[in-house]
């Protein structure tokens, strides 16, 4: 069967104060178009449907309309879990009747250990959990279990939950885990919320060797982890300036080409099963946003009088680094009229460079006047001479300091 893997929608998220609902609605329609074109038989949504646990009305309306269109209108089975940004209780409202239309939404550990069987696969939907929730789960289901007393780390808790899942593994099926956490060794991005403190909330990749595929949410880059059978789909949109160079998208999984890892390990022949994912099994499909997020380095004059290339991207979300060194008054106000989605304007940092001609501390003390010292420092910092106006300001400041020192004496 063909499965589309997406996650980290963060519906309701704002970017530097800009409302992204229109961007999010457009990207969700694009995902649906891919699902229909590829004739997928299920869609995985691996957590963080919302950006906040108390989403606003417009966000809830968009998510509800999306689920209805995908599941009821298009009749695509949905496999959904709650992430750390979601309210598990609120997201699960209506859960008892969702499954009648093959809308599988799991928000608890009790649900996670019960497999969902579709075609040749068993799906285990493990929502975002914290160690205290794992402890509560074992206190309620198996008080004698060691984790009912103490869960030393998330990894220990997840390992115990996976052991419970294995009890229901069908050797004739391929097992797919859907979850939302940080796998040790993955690469972070700035728009993500850290989950671990001192490594306690990271989980080793080795725990998931019995699954044919592990569909994760939480990290926003599809390149966060590309080892073995584990993948993060990444967020469908860029949610931070640091992600400007990323390519966002979704994964398309074809289970016909997956290796049944658990069956291979249980085989009497004990043949070592391949742990990687072939191109036939997994394919990344890029998404195109309504408006791109770009980081630009240029000068103020070029921005005020843009060429054709700059005009083409003027409607995008722009984070601009100016190469100008002179003061510019009301720079944001001057630029917003031409660049309505301007995120930020910063100045380019100029690194100090060591040269053979630099004076020693003693030489500076003996050979340079205060005015010459400031002028030399300014040139070293900016590679420019002080302007006449700046020189006037410098002299006025030095005279004021000298006058104050004279009065004190």
pLDDT for 139-186, tens place per residue? Answer: 999 999 999 999 999 999 999 999 999 999 999 999 999 999 999 877
Q: How far is CA 298 from CA 120, 334, 341, in A?
A: 54, 15, 17
pLDDT at 74: 97
Please state whether beta strands 18-19 and 14-15 pair in parallel, antiparallel, or not at all (unpaired): antiparallel
Alpha-carbon distance 208 to 162, whole Å?
8
What does the pLDDT look like over 275-332, one tens digit per residue?
568 889 999 999 999 999 999 999 999 999 999 999 999 999 999 999 988 888 899 9
Alpha-carbon distance 66 to 75, whole Å?
12
Q: Is the dihedral of CA 121, 127, 133, 137 positive or negative?
A: negative
pLDDT for 197 beyond 50:
no
Lowest mean pLDDT across 173-182, 196-205, 206-215, 327-336: 196-205
Residue 241 token pair? 């300036």
Lowest mean pLDDT across 176-180, 263-267, 374-378, 385-389: 263-267
Q: How far is CA 232 from CA 6, 47, 187, 248, 275, in A?
A: 8, 11, 11, 11, 16
Q: How far is CA 308 from CA 110, 121, 304, 375, in A?
A: 58, 52, 13, 39
SS3 117: strand
Could you tell me which of 208, 130, 116 has the C-alpha nearest to residue 162? Answer: 208
**Structural contact between residues 8 and 233, judged by C-beta atoms closer than 8 angstroms:** yes
Query: Which position has the token pair 């309306």?
Result: 61
Alpha-carbon distance 123 to 253, whole Å?
13
- What is the residue-averaged pLDDT of the chain? 88
What does the pLDDT look like over 61-89, one tens digit per residue?
999 999 999 999 999 999 999 999 999 99
**Structural contact between residues 123 and 178, judged by C-beta atoms closer than 8 angstroms:** yes
pLDDT at 200: 42
pLDDT at 198: 37
Alpha-carbon distance 245 to 152, whole Å?
38
Alpha-carbon distance 228 to 208, whole Å?
9
pLDDT at 277: 86
pLDDT at 199: 39
Rounded to 5°, the CA angle 110-111-112 comes to 95
pLDDT at 404: 72
Query: Which position has the token pair 């694009």?
Result: 30
> Edge-to-edge, what's the strand order for the sheet holding 213-217?
116-118, 121-125, 174-180, 213-217, 230-232
**Residue 126 confidence class, pLDDT cut points 50, 70, 90:** very high
**Residue 401 confidence class, pLDDT cut points 50, 70, 90:** confident
pLDDT at 71: 96
pLDDT for 196 beyond 50:
no
What is the percentage of the chain residues whose pLDDT exceeds 70?
87
pLDDT at 360: 59
């Amino acid at each position: 069967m063909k499965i589309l893997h997406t996650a980290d929608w963060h519906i309701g998220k704002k970017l530097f104060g800009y409302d992204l609902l229109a961007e999010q609605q457009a990207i969700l329609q694009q995902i649906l178009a891919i699902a229909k074109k590829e004739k997928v038989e299920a869609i995985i949504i691996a957590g963080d449907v919302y950006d906040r646990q108390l989403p606003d009305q417009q966000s809830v309306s968009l998510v509800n309309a999306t689920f209805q269109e995908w599941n009821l209108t298009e009749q695509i089975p949905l496999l959904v879990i709650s992430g750390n940004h979601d309210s598990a209780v609120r997201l699960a409202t209506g859960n008892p009747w969702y499954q009648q239309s093959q809308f599988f939404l799991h928000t608890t550990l009790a649900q996670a250990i019960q497999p969902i069987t579709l075609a040749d696969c068993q799906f285990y939907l493990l929502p975002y959990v914290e160690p205290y929730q794992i402890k509560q789960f074992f206190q309620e289901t198996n008080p004698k279990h060691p984790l009912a007393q103490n869960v030393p780390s998330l990894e220990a808790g997840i390992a115990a939950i996976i052991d419970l899942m294995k009890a229901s593994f069908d050797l004739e099926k391929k097992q797919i885990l859907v979850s939302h956490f940080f796998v040790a060794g993955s690469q972070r991005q700035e728009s993500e919320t850290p989950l671990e403190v001192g490594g306690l909330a990271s989980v080793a990749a080795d725990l998931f060797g019995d699954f044919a595929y592990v569909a994760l949410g939480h990290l926003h880059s599809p390149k966060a982890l590309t080892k073995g059978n584990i993948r993060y789909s990444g967020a469908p949109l860029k949610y931070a300036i640091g992600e400007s160079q990323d390519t966002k998208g979704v994964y398309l999984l074809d289970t016909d080409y997956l290796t049944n890892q658990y069956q291979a390990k249980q085989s009497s022949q004990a043949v070592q099963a391949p742990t990687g994912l072939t191109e036939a099994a997994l394919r990344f499909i890029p998404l195109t946003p309504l408006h791109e997020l770009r980081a630009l380095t240029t000068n103020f004059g070029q921005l005020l009088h843009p060429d054709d290339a700059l005009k083409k991207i003027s409607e995008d979300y722009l984070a601009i680094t100016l190469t100008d060194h002179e003061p510019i008054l009301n720079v944001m106000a001057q630029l917003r009229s031409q660049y309505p989605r301007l995120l930020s304007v910063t100045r380019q940092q100029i690194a100090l460079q060591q040269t053979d001609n630099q004076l020693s501390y003693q030489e500076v003390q003996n050979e340079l006047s205060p005015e010459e010292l400031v002028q030399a420092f300014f040139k070293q910092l900016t590679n420019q001479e002080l302007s006449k106006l700046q020189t006037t300001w410098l002299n006025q400041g030095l005279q004021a300091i000298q006058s104050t020192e004279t009065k004190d004496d």
